[in-house]
Each structure stands twice: as C-alpha cells, then as structure tokens.
Amino acid sequence: MAQIGQHQFKLAGGHPALDFINTVHDWTTSEPLDYLSEFADAIRFGETAGLLSRADVGRLRRRTPHGELTRLRELRALLRRIFEMHLSGETPGSADLLKLSADLAEAARATQLTSATQLHRSPKVPPQVPMRREITLEKAGDALLRLRIVEAAVALLVSDATQRVKSCPSCGWLFLDVSKNRSRRWCSMDTCGAVAKSRCGGEVAALLPPLEGARRSLTRAAAIPPAAAARRPAVRFNDIMYFAGPEPVRSRRGFNEQRRRYREPQ
Ligand SMILES: [Zn+2]
C-alpha cells in the first residue's frame, strides 16, 4: 500500500472504530494511500479520535514498539472486511470472527476496573457511576491503542447502531448515518459529496441545449404533459429525461436545487 507523510485525520465516521478503518485515502482504489505511515501516525490518530489521552500519548511516544504498526494495519483490514460483509448482508468469515474474538480476549486481559471516586476531583459531589473499566497502558503496553480500537469496534458490532453504518459510494469510507431519515449518502459533503454534486451539475449544464431569451431550468419529464414535452428541448441524464422548464434558474446553486428536486421520485 502506498504511504504518505503527516496527515490531518478527519473524523467523518462518527465512531472511533469507523474512523480507524478510514485511515486510508480511498478504499475503492487497488493501492490506497495509507495515512498510517509509521507508529507515530497511529498515535496521532488515537489522540485525534479520543482513544488516547495526552498522558497516554506522551508515554507511548517514549516507547519503541516492534511490529505494532503491522498489527494495527492487520486489524484495520480485518475490521473493514467484517463491516463490509455486514453492509452487503453476508455473514463475516469464521476465520475473521475467530481473530477478532482473540483480539477481544487480549483486550479483556488488559482491562482494569477503577473506582470512579479515585478519579473524581470533588469528593463532595458523588460520581454518576461507581466504577470505570479501562484498558491501561500498564497492562496493554504497546498494544494500548489497538486494544482500545478492538473494544470500540466490538461495542459497535454488538449494538443497534450497526444498522446505521454505511459506506461512502465514492471513497469507501465507513460512517454512522445518524440523520433522522437515514438519508446521509457521503462520508462528507465537503469532499465526496461536493465532488459528486459539482460533477452532476456540470454534466447536466454541459448537456442542456442553449435556450434563447430564457435562462436554463429543468423539469422532470413526468411532470409535463406529453404534448408540451414534445415541444421542449430535452436532455437525458442518469436515465432520467429532463426538460428545460418555465422556472428561471438564477445561479448554479438554484440549478443544482432544481436538478435535485426533479430527480427525486414524485
Ligand atoms: Zn467519501
């Protein structure tokens, strides 16, 4: 896998396990750029995703882990396979489930229970829960980040939230769709969504025949009586016939708005 230098991690996944899977540039290419070039990148990711505290980061940076970066990449590939199988409605491979189970057992061995009162700053205000479970650096050593990712991934896989996991059709990143009507399509509207939007708008605009004396606008074919439709300049895009309609389009945004509106099922 190709690798790049220091990268600013974007947390588009909405969950640390999904954000970890998204630490490559694009999963749809055969040779994705890997944002985890070295173990230090993984530590930066862990801090950005909230999986490592600043103290953890300071202590991990003083260590020289052997083979941990490779194990992290293997875990990433394993989790991606499992989530992709789930998304396609298939059962994950038994070898993959056994591997994740073994990782989970390793995470459990590195887990400690801590009394919440020991951590709470004000003894006058009681903590909300009496105990806290934590994978500690003392027990996990170099594997701290990896085991915390394992625990987060398993927590997601055994929860209802798995039903909201989606894959971006453009880059293959995974994300949790927490929108009310579950309509989120892209990992981010700033990247893949914006590219797709401008690509569609551009293609339709380029295809539309020029209209004399009127600005371009689009009306879905089904909304126009056949006789009137026959007199209008038309363009086919994504197997939907559009006609230049009566509504004036004053901007690119308005153009995209109409295109989107008339493409939706009536
Ligand atoms: Zn994407």
Give the mean model confidence (pLDDT) for residues 125-130. Answer: 73
Express each pLDDT in 24-72 by its tens digit: 999 999 888 999 999 999 999 999 999 999 999 999 999 888 899 999 9
* Cα gap 266→258, rounded to integer Å: 13
What separation in Å is there between the alpha carbon of 58 and the centre of ligand 1? 32
What separation in Å is there between the alpha carbon of 164 and the centre of ligand 1? 16
What is the torsion angle, in degrees rounded to the nearest 10, for the CA atoms of residue 196, residue 183, residue 188 and residue 31? Answer: -70
What separation in Å is there between the alpha carbon of 192 and the centre of ligand 1? 5
Express each pLDDT in 68-83 by its tens digit: 999 999 999 999 999 9
What separation in Å is there between the alpha carbon of 90 and the centre of ligand 1? 23
pLDDT of residue 210: 43
What separation in Å is there between the alpha carbon of 18 and the centre of ligand 1? 13
What is the residue extent of each domain of the chain? Answer: 2-176, 192-263
Cross-strand bridge partners of residue 135: 111
CB neighbour list of residue 49: distance below 8 Å, 6 or more residues apart: 9, 11, 16, 19, 20
What separation in Å is there between the alpha carbon of 116 and the centre of ligand 1? 40
* Spatial contact of 237 and 204, defined as CB atoms under 8 Å apart: yes
What separation in Å is there between the alpha carbon of 21 and the centre of ligand 1? 13
Q: Return the SS3 of 181.
A: coil
Give the mean model confidence (pLDDT) for residues 203-221. Answer: 42
* Cα gap 262→4, rounded to integer Å: 42
What separation in Å is there between the alpha carbon of 168 and the centre of ligand 1? 5
What separation in Å is there between the alpha carbon of 205 and the centre of ligand 1? 24
What separation in Å is there between the alpha carbon of 23 and the centre of ligand 1? 12
Give the mean model confidence (pLDDT) for residues 225-248. Answer: 44
What separation in Å is there between the alpha carbon of 172 and the centre of ligand 1? 6
Q: In angstroms, what is the C-alpha Rg of the chain?
A: 25
* Cα gap 42→76, rounded to integer Å: 11
Query: pLDDT over 70 for what percent of the chain?
Result: 68
* Cα gap 18→37, rounded to integer Å: 19
What separation in Å is there between the alpha carbon of 140 and the centre of ligand 1? 33
Residue 37 CB-density burial (10 A; 0-12 exposed, 13-18 middle, 19+ buried): middle
pLDDT of residue 254: 56
CB neighbour list of residue 181: distance below 8 Å, 6 or more residues apart: none
CB neighbour list of residue 201: distance below 8 Å, 6 or more residues apart: 252, 255, 256, 259
What separation in Å is there between the alpha carbon of 167 and the centre of ligand 1? 8
What separation in Å is there between the alpha carbon of 176 and the centre of ligand 1? 13
Please name the CATH architecture into which domain 2-176 falls.
Answer: Orthogonal Bundle (1.10)
What separation in Å is there between the alpha carbon of 10 and the centre of ligand 1? 11
Helix, strand counts (H, E) of the chain: 11, 7
What separation in Å is there between the alpha carbon of 83 and the centre of ligand 1? 16
Cross-strand bridge partners of residue 218: 244
